[in-house]
Chains A and B, each alone.
Chain A
Amino acid sequence: DTEVTQTPKHLVMGMTNKKSLKCEQHMGHRAMYWYKQKAKKPPELMFVYSYEKLSINESVPSRFSPECPNSSLLNLHLHALQPEDSALYLCASSQGFGGTQETQYFGPGTRLLVL
């Protein structure tokens, strides 16, 4: 089973709202990722967690706050977003970072609209 689940599927929020995106995997993967994808563009890496610790932050604005409460769960907390933050947010996971462990498996994404 290579399933990564994400909730909610769709989210509409105002610029003053606080919301959270959730990602879950039960494959025992130790690395988890958040990507942002604008229409007709490839995904852009935002954050990488390795063994529940933040290992990469791609200079993402502080209005995006990631959290990894345990090895199966990854959250993305959203606060004071801008309309240009509207996008598809993808979560991915991998066993690790090298060799046969490096393949990333993606969830279906959360479609976010900021009004």
Chain B
Amino acid sequence: AQSVTQLDSHVSVSEGTPVLLRCNYSSSYSPSLFWYVQHPNKGLQLLLKYTSAATLVKGINGFEAEFKKSETSFHLTKPSAHMSDAAEYFCVVRTFYNQGGKLIFGQGTELSVKP
């Protein structure tokens, strides 16, 4: 069965410094992996998606993630944090179609950005 683990429940950075949100996955086959962001009292917005085309995936708002099969990781990074990046971030893996094609969410990482 597939699963994701977000290694930090809360990350705090200063504005202008790099962001690193960590995610490990478990999957028997090449997975589909996603990062979604949720701002307070909002729905989820897709940041980026990995589907085996390229290991370094670029997303919106300057975010990117690198798929590392040997480490079963899919960490999210951004070179310079902005105040508007403060939000909840979810790492997500998609189960295979014969398992319902469901999204399996990590528990989330809350990102705080200090001025």
Assess whether B105 is interfacial by the CB under 8 Å rule: yes
Tell me the nearest residue of chain A to B106, going by C-beta: A42
Interfacial chain A residues near B34, Cβ < 8 Å: 103
Could you say which of A13-21, A68-76, A94-102 contacts chain B? A94-102
Interfacial chain B residues near A106, Cβ < 8 Å: 36, 43-45
Q: How large is the interface on A (under 10, 10 to 19, 20 to 34, 35 or more residues)?
A: 20 to 34
Assess whether B32 is interfacial by the CB under 8 Å rule: yes
Cα separation A107 to B49 with both chains bound (whole Å): 18
Establish whether residues B108 and A98, one from each chain, have CB atoms under 8 Å apart when the complex forms: no
Cα separation A92 to B97 with both chains bound (whole Å): 17
Establish whether residues A111 and B46, one from each chain, have CB atoms under 8 Å apart when the complex forms: no
Establish whether residues A42 and B108, one from each chain, have CB atoms under 8 Å apart when the complex forms: yes
Assess whether B115 is interfacial by the CB under 8 Å rule: no
Size of the B side of the interface (Cβ < 8 Å), in residues, is: 22
When A42-B90, A97-B97 are in contact, do A104 and B43 touch as well, CB less than 8 Å?
A: no
When A42-B107, A98-B97, A102-B94 are in contact, do A90 and B46 touch as well, CB less than 8 Å?
A: no
Assess whether A45 is interfacial by the CB under 8 Å rule: yes
Establish whether residues B102 and A45, one from each chain, have CB atoms under 8 Å apart when the complex forms: yes
Establish whether residues A100 and B43, one from each chain, have CB atoms under 8 Å apart when the complex forms: no
Minimum Cβ distance to chain B for residue A103 (Å): 6
Cα separation A111 to B103 with both chains bound (whole Å): 21
Assess whether A27 is interfacial by the CB under 8 Å rule: no
Tell me the nearest residue of chain A to B101, going by C-beta: A97
Establish whether residues B97 and A108, one from each chain, have CB atoms under 8 Å apart when the complex forms: no
Cα separation A99 to B46 with both chains bound (whole Å): 16
Establish whether residues B44 and A43, one from each chain, have CB atoms under 8 Å apart when the complex forms: yes
Establish whether residues B103 and A104, one from each chain, have CB atoms under 8 Å apart when the complex forms: yes
Assess whether A64 is interfacial by the CB under 8 Å rule: no
Cα separation A97 to B112 with both chains bound (whole Å): 34
Cα separation A104 to B108 with both chains bound (whole Å): 17
Q: Return 20 A-B CB contacts under 8 Å, by A number.
A: A2-B46, A4-B43, A42-B90, A42-B106, A42-B107, A43-B105, A45-B102, A48-B102, A90-B44, A92-B44, A97-B101, A98-B97, A100-B51, A103-B49, A104-B103, A105-B46, A107-B43, A108-B43, A109-B43, A111-B41
